[in-house]
């Protein structure tokens, strides 16, 4: 298929339709509004349904209904809207209903601003709603990945019967790049568990309520087993020039693109630097970080939040290697030169300490 110059938010919708999504329920919010706008334009053309709900709370519960009917469906929002959806996301996970949710992150907390940030990490990756559940979280760093990971999100949602979140900062949502879209998926029959108002589906029951303690415990254990399976099979990460890296940068989204430039500039200055970019924020690439920690003398996490990703990197490394942090928030994105200066400032004391230790 010929490449198209496409905005990241629009790429999500086009890819969703090619993946067989035919229902979109949502409410506009900057910097995600183009997703609803594109869905309103393209969904009806594909024979699907677009509905602007009266609120994000309504939208996520409409998603519950469509998913229960076995339809590939999605919604999209940004920080404040995702916060309003959290109860419904917990219901969807508890009822084992597949759907795709795009979160195009803006500044926070509260109303914050409409500039790009990565402060939704905790509420999305850790499961911001109530109860014991997880969502699979995919983090694109380009418009091409906005398309590719959206298609993957629908497949993973169906395979694990679970909500999948495409988590991108506002820069990735708003930028335009050439995109080659995946081919259209073949039509798929409704799954056997779906509620369709037919005699055959009459026995099906979609619910997240288990009033008996033993019943709920068994259900939670079943969900846990599903999440463990995803952790074994679905981890994705990009390792960039890490083969000989003594310092490993870690970042995702727009930050990862900046960090690739930092790697090249640092290597030109004689530093053996590489980049690990998590593509799945859950399941997290802990194993890859542990492998890199055997050689690396230091990790430097760079993120557009106050150390939320840094916490997971520290947990993964388990104290084997120092994990440093550099953050910008409020919609500010560091330049490559800015990060390089921070890197030099942290690498010099590290080299001096090792020189003292090894004589």
Q: How far apart are CA 209 and CA 201, in angstroms?
A: 20
Q: What is the pLDDT of residue 350?
A: 65
Backbone angles phi, psi at 161, to 5 degrees: 45, 65
The yes-or-no verdict on residue 285 having pLDDT over 60 is yes
Same fold, 4-233 and 237-358: yes
The residues spanned by each domain of the chain are 4-233, 237-358
Q: How far apart are CA 144 and CA 163, in angstroms?
A: 22
Residue 302, helix vs strand vs coil = strand
Q: How far apart are CA 252 and CA 130, in angstroms?
A: 26
Q: What is the pLDDT of residue 354?
A: 55
Average pLDDT, the chain: 95
Query: What tens digit of pLDDT does each residue of 317-357 get?
Result: 999 999 999 999 999 999 999 999 999 998 876 655 555 43
CB 145 within 8 A of CB 180: no
What's the sign of the alpha-carbon dihedral 97, 98, 104, 105? positive
**Parallel, antiparallel or unpaired: strands 237-240 and 23-26:** unpaired
Residue 285, helix vs strand vs coil = coil
Looking at domain 4-233, does it have CATH number 3.40.50.970?
yes
Query: What tens digit of pLDDT does each residue of 100-113 get?
Result: 999 999 999 999 99
Q: What is the pLDDT of residue 80?
A: 97
Q: What is the pLDDT of residue 104?
A: 98
The yes-or-no verdict on residue 62 having pLDDT over 60 is yes
User: CATH: 3.90.320.10, 3.40.50.920, 3.30.420.40, 3.90.550.10. Which one for 237-358?
Assistant: 3.40.50.920
């Amino acid at each position: 298929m010929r490449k198209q110059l496409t905005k990241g938010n629009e790429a999500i919708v086009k890819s969703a339709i090619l993946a067989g999504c035919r229902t979109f329920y949502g409410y506009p919010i900057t910097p995600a509004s183009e997703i609803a706008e594109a869905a309103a334009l393209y969904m009806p053309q594909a024979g699907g349904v677009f509905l602007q709900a009266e609120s994000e709370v309504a939208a996520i519960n409409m998603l519950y209904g469509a998913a229960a009917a076995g339809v590939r469906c999605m919604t999209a929002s940004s920080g404040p809207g995702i916060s309003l959806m959290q109860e419904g996301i917990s219901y969807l996970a508890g009822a084992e209903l597949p759907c795709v949710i795009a979160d195009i992150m803006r500044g926070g907390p509260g109303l914050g601003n409409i500039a790009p940030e990565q402060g939704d990490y905790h509420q999305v990756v850790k499961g911001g709603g109530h109860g014991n559940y997880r969502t699979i979280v995919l983090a694109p760093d380009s418009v091409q990945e906005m398309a590719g990971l959206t298609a993957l999100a629908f497949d993973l949602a169906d395979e694990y019967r679970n909500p999948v979140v495409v988590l991108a900062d506002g820069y990735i949502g708003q930028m335009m790049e050439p995109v080659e879209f995946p081919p259209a998926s073949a039509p798929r029959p409704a799954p056997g568990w779906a509620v369709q108002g037919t005699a055959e589906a009459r026995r099906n029951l979609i619910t997240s309520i288990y009033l008996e303690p033993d019943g709920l415990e068994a259900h939670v254990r079943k969900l846990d087993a599903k999440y463990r399976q995803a952790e074994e099979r679905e981890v994705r990460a990009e390792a960039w020039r890490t083969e000989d890296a003594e310092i490993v940068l870690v970042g995702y989204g727009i930050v990862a693109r900046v960090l690739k430039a930092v790697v090249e500039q640092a290597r030109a200055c004689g530093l053996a630097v590489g980049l690990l970019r998590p593509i799945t924020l859950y399941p997290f690439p802990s194993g890859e970080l542990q492998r890199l920690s055997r050689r690396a003398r230091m990790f430097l996490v760079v993120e557009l939040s106050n150390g939320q990703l840094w916490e997971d990197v520290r947990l993964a490394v388990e104290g084997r290697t120092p994990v440093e942090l550099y953050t910008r928030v409020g919609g500010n994105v560091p330049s490559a030169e800015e990060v390089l200066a921070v890197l030099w400032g942290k690498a010099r004391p590290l080299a001096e300490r090792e020189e003292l230790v090894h004589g």
